[in-house]
Homo-oligomer: A and B are copies of this chain.
Amino acid sequence: MRAEEIVDEFPVVDIDSPARDAVKLLADYRLSGLVVGTDTSDKPYAVLPASQVVRFLVPAYVQDDPGLARVLTESMADHAADKLSGKTIRDLLPHKAQQVPIVDAEDTIIEVAEVMSRLHSPLVTVVKDGKLCGVITASRLLAEALKQ
């Protein structure tokens, strides 16, 4: 079994698209992460796990001192997503360049598993001839491994 045999289709969001739209996609389709692309390359630029998008609901002062989350009222907390307005996906990406979870279409499931677990990523992107051909999620990979 090779990576390209177990890919799922997956939406790619442009790095300059509105953050709110992309987060809505993540929420509506219950995705484990977003694949971020640019218009200058066919390769994925980044994978943004859902658990990291969630960080943008948390005000900076709470990230610095988690205890402060307790002082926010329920109605203040409910408007957490307002922070996404006017932001693009680029603004949600970590400032430090991260290694992108990319595997080759010909890679085995062990090579896929190695990249996924080393980068703690809920999904890896699969590239064939320099182009994205889909993604493999952790649960899909486990399902395929158990079938054998």
Residues of A whose CB lies within 8 Å of any CB of B are: 1-2, 20, 23-24, 26-32, 49-55, 57-59, 62-63, 66, 69-70, 72-74, 76-81, 108-111, 113-118, 120-122, 137-143, 145-146, 148
Contact = CB atoms under 8 A, between A and B. Distances in A.
Contact of A24 (B53, B117, B146): B146
Nearest to A107: B69
Given A27-B142, A30-B137, A138-B54, A62 B114 contact: yes
Closest 3 CB pairs of A and B: A77-B108, A50-B138, A27-B143
A142 B26 contact: yes
Given A78-B1, A108-B77, A122-B50, A113 B146 contact: no
Given A50-B122, A52-B120, A81-B145, 16 more contacts: A27-B139, A28-B143, A30-B139, A30-B140, A31-B139, A49-B120, A51-B121, A55-B117, A57-B142, A63-B114, A66-B118, A78-B108, A80-B109, A80-B145, A120-B120, A122-B122
A114 B32 contact: no
B1 A77 contact: yes
Given A69-B108, A74-B1, A122-B49, A54 B143 contact: no
A30 B31 CA distance: 11
A122 B1 contact: no
Given A57-B110, A69-B108, A108-B69, A27 B117 contact: no
